[in-house]
Chains A and B, each alone.
Chain A
Amino acid sequence: MNRLAVELPGLSLKNPIMPASGCFGFGREYAKFYDLSVLGAIMIKATTLEARFGNPTPRVAETPSGMLNAIGLQNPGIDKVLAEELPWLAQYDVPIIANIAGSTVEEYVEVAKRISKAPNVHALELNISCPNVKKGGIAFGTVPEVAAELTRAVKEVSAVPVYVKLSPNVTNIVAMAKAIEQAGADGLTMINTLLGMRIDVKTAKPILANVTGGLSGPAIKPIALRMIYEVSQAVSLPIIGMGGIQSAEDVIEFFYAGASAVAIGTAHFIDPYVCPNVIRDLPPLLDELGIQHISECTGRSWNNGQTVYCGA
């Protein structure tokens, strides 16, 4: 038995570990470090209809236990992604989750329609939570009705299941998740980055050229856990959890909160080998915890943790 195998809409994962969108490019850079087929899936960099350059530099700034980024959805556009990146990724035995973004509903629909037909794209991740672009992105992710309308429109044209990536920059994330569930989404991914900023003490100017950016890394892990804990008990959609994961212990914590799989983002910049290392570390950790299969961990912390502990 493969104790790490997970079944999700559209996705038969050999393990529940995947690189998060925007932290792994289209896989080429990390393929120099290890065989990408070891991964459960790959969430590729957000793809838009036209090529985008993104924001001016500096695009990153550091914070204790985290980092801010304001890349601005730089990508080569769907034509190139379909012609070059996805066929290149097809050499690996790994399902692709295509993160899609746009400035208008029409752009999302067009990208979804075309990219969902690529043979190795097994699911879409609807990016309605990028805090670093002026139009689109988070504009679709803060009002439940708007998010629901976009979800419906994309669901209608997509050839594969649609996961919606939630923004933590909202007052009520449960209301958002419910609206997206009712609109027909197949799953949720959460959380995207938190809007933040840093200012240079000497110059009094914002460090990021974009002024604000998205906070990621271990700093946001408690927020991600709390939000997954809340949302997973309010909706019946599977959740791919993310936000500061660095270790196998972190993965189990996200499952306990209610995730069914997880994505790793910022940790790649610290250790290119983080995904294979976490995949390697999971089985012995399951042994230590007396757990047969990782899926048993999902939601173990619910009900104030009263049913949680079954450690050896």
Chain B
Amino acid sequence: MKEHMTIISNRQIAKGIYELTLASSLVQRMHTPGQFVHVKVATFAPLLRRPLSLCDINHEAGECTIVYRAEGTGTTLLSQKQPGETLDVLGPLGNGFPLSALSSGQRALLVGGGIGVPPLYELAKQLVKNGVCVTIVLGFQTKDVVFYEERFASFGKTYVATADGSYGMKGFVTDVIEHHALSFDVLYACGPKPMLKALQQQFPHKELYLSLEERMGCGVGACFACVCRVPHSETAYKKVCSDGPVFRAGEVVL
């Protein structure tokens, strides 16, 4: 579950957004969209690994792709890595999006916000392969950080919104869904917590699967850093890393 993966490419695809392609036999263990890998980028600073979700899994090529935002020390260091270098990768970890929630001919709505967009790519790919009709809504802060619109468009109708209106519709993903009256059997989402909360409120009686983000320590469930509460209990909890990161709406307190 831990290997040194070779960097095939590591390139900027939007402002501060990088696409990293890695190769090793570890890829053959990667199957479920929404799972993540825990990546070591430096020996001592930062000390801990970086949890990064899988964006694309390509078993034939033996490669996987991760899309990340160079923001803090770790991801900035990662953005400087060159093809040919290796990365210490642990994974795949966590429980991804349940594909079995839908059968052929049913409709999925995929909603991504910012750097929460990447795991929806592999999800869209696998849903379409299963014959599911996919509609995609992507929300970004501004035009400069929009990515993967065309790639998603190959799987289904794709809408883009920006918070400042510089690209696509002005507003949030929830505005797009309302404006176009988008309907679905199952909704899958990944993005900032306010977005997930808004979706949960917008569709209180529908089947929603939400991918959460939290600061992690171990990534395997041992350190209790990334817990979240379970409704109606003082002591019950779920761990984002090992029980999630994908939860059914209502399963945990957002």
List chain A positions with a Cβ less than 8 A from chain B. Answer: 22-25, 28-30, 32-33, 45, 51-54, 57-67, 69, 71, 74, 76-77, 217-218, 266, 268-273
Whole-angstrom CA separation of A38 from B216 in the bound complex: 27
Choose among B45, B46, B73, B237 the residue that contacts A53 (Cβ–Cβ < 8 A). Answer: B237
The chain A residue with its CB closest to the CB of B73 is A62
Contact assessment for B227 and A25 in the assembled complex, using a CB-CB cutoff below 8 Å = no
Whole-angstrom CA separation of A53 from B229 in the bound complex: 9
Question: Which residues in A have their C-beta under 8 angstroms from that of B218?
Answer: 23, 29, 268-269, 272
Question: Which residues in A have their C-beta under 8 angstroms from that of B227?
Answer: 53-54, 57, 59, 74
Contacts A29-B218, A57-B228, A66-B47 supplied; 11 other A-B pairs, CB < 8 Å: A23-B218, A25-B223, A53-B234, A57-B215, A57-B225, A58-B225, A62-B46, A62-B48, A71-B223, A71-B224, A269-B222
Contact assessment for B222 and A23 in the assembled complex, using a CB-CB cutoff below 8 Å = yes
Choose among A51, A65, A69, A77 the residue that contacts B47 (Cβ–Cβ < 8 A). Answer: A65
Contact assessment for B224 and A51 in the assembled complex, using a CB-CB cutoff below 8 Å = no
Whole-angstrom CA separation of A33 from B46 in the bound complex: 24
Whole-angstrom CA separation of A69 from B217 in the bound complex: 9
Known: A65-B47, A270-B48. A59 touches B224 (CB 8 A): yes
The 6 A-B pairs of least Cβ separation, nearest first, read: A29-B222, A269-B218, A25-B222, A51-B235, A60-B225, A65-B44
Question: Which residues in A have their C-beta under 8 angstroms from that of B48?
Answer: 60, 62, 67, 269-270
Question: Which residues in B have their C-beta under 8 angstroms from that of A54?
Answer: 224, 227
Chain B stretch 183-214: residues in CB contact (< 8 A) with chain A: 214
Whole-angstrom CA separation of A64 from B237 in the bound complex: 30
Question: Which residues in B have their C-beta under 8 angstroms from that of A51?
Answer: 235
Contact assessment for B221 and A269 in the assembled complex, using a CB-CB cutoff below 8 Å = no
Whole-angstrom CA separation of A67 from B224 in the bound complex: 14
Q: What are 29 residue pairs bridging A and B, where the CB atoms are less than 8 Å apart in the complex?
A: A23-B218, A23-B222, A29-B218, A29-B221, A29-B242, A30-B220, A30-B222, A33-B1, A45-B224, A51-B235, A53-B234, A57-B215, A57-B225, A58-B225, A59-B226, A60-B215, A60-B223, A60-B225, A64-B44, A65-B47, A66-B47, A76-B235, A217-B47, A268-B222, A269-B217, A269-B219, A269-B223, A270-B47, A270-B48
Interface residue? B40 (CB, 8 A): yes
Known: A29-B221, A29-B222, A74-B224. A57 touches B214 (CB 8 A): yes
Contact assessment for A272 and B237 in the assembled complex, using a CB-CB cutoff below 8 Å = no
The chain B residue with its CB closest to the CB of A60 is B225
Whole-angstrom CA separation of A52 from B224 in the bound complex: 12
Contact assessment for B47 and A272 in the assembled complex, using a CB-CB cutoff below 8 Å = no
